[in-house]
Amino acid sequence: MVPNIKKNIGYKIAIPATQSLAIMSLVAMATTQFYNQFTIAAIIAVICYLLRQPLMNVAGPMTTEVVMNYVGKKNQEMVSALIAAIWSGSYFISGLMVAAMFADGVSFVNVFLITAALYAVGVVWYYILILDYNKREKAGLIENN
């Protein structure tokens, strides 16, 4: 599915759109705390979770391709290792941060809204990268694999 999405709408729309929809789903899931006394809250949370997961993950192959093409063949191994280290570190650090927030009594909705805000910052940075990628690609500075 991802190659078709990329081919039909391109990185500039596909990555921010799928990530933004995933963020909206995360926010909708978070807000179920406000009406958790109703059965519908659980149903909405499950639906949002089921939508968010594939939407968040669909951009993965596209972002990897953008980054790997952007850095060039000679830098791909180093960048791949850095990305793996950053993801591992972010899971560890975010786990500690979430545990600390829950221990301090931060509500579920606020933890999820903070997460959504951080994801939104990432989407903006990817959009900026994609704009530069497109500019460099037009100038012949990027080889597509």
Instruction: List pLDDT tens digits, range 34-76.
Output: 999 999 999 999 999 999 999 999 999 999 999 999 999 999 9
Q: Of residues 33 and 1, which shows the higher confidence score?
A: 33
Instruction: List pLDDT tens digits, range 13-36.
Output: 999 999 999 999 999 999 999 999
SS3 label, residue 80: helix
pLDDT tier at 2, thresholds 50, 70, 90: confident
pLDDT averaged over every residue in the chain:
94
- The predicted pLDDT at position 1 comes to 83
Q: What is the torsion angle, in degrees rounded to the nearest 10, for the CA atoms of residue 42, residue 43, residue 49 and residue 51?
A: -170
Six-digit token string for 7? 């081919």
Do 130 and 62 form a contact (C-beta atoms < 8 A)?
Answer: no
Where are the chain's structural domains? 2-138
Instruction: List pLDDT tens digits, range 103-122.
Output: 999 999 999 999 999 999 99
- Give the C-alpha separation, 1 to 40, whole Å: 31
Instruction: List pLDDT tens digits, range 71-92.
Output: 999 999 999 999 999 989 999 9
Among candidates 128, 26, 124, 12, which has minimal Cα distance to 62?
12
Instruction: List pLDDT tens digits, range 128-141.
Output: 999 999 999 999 99
SS3 label, residue 142: coil
Among candidates 10, 38, 42, 20, which has minimal Cα distance to 29?
42
Q: Which residues contact 12 (CB under 8 A, 6 or more apart)?
A: 127, 130, 131, 134
CA distances in angstroms from 23 to 35, 55, 128, 135, 142, listed in the order given: 20, 9, 18, 27, 30
Residue 145: pLDDT over 70: no
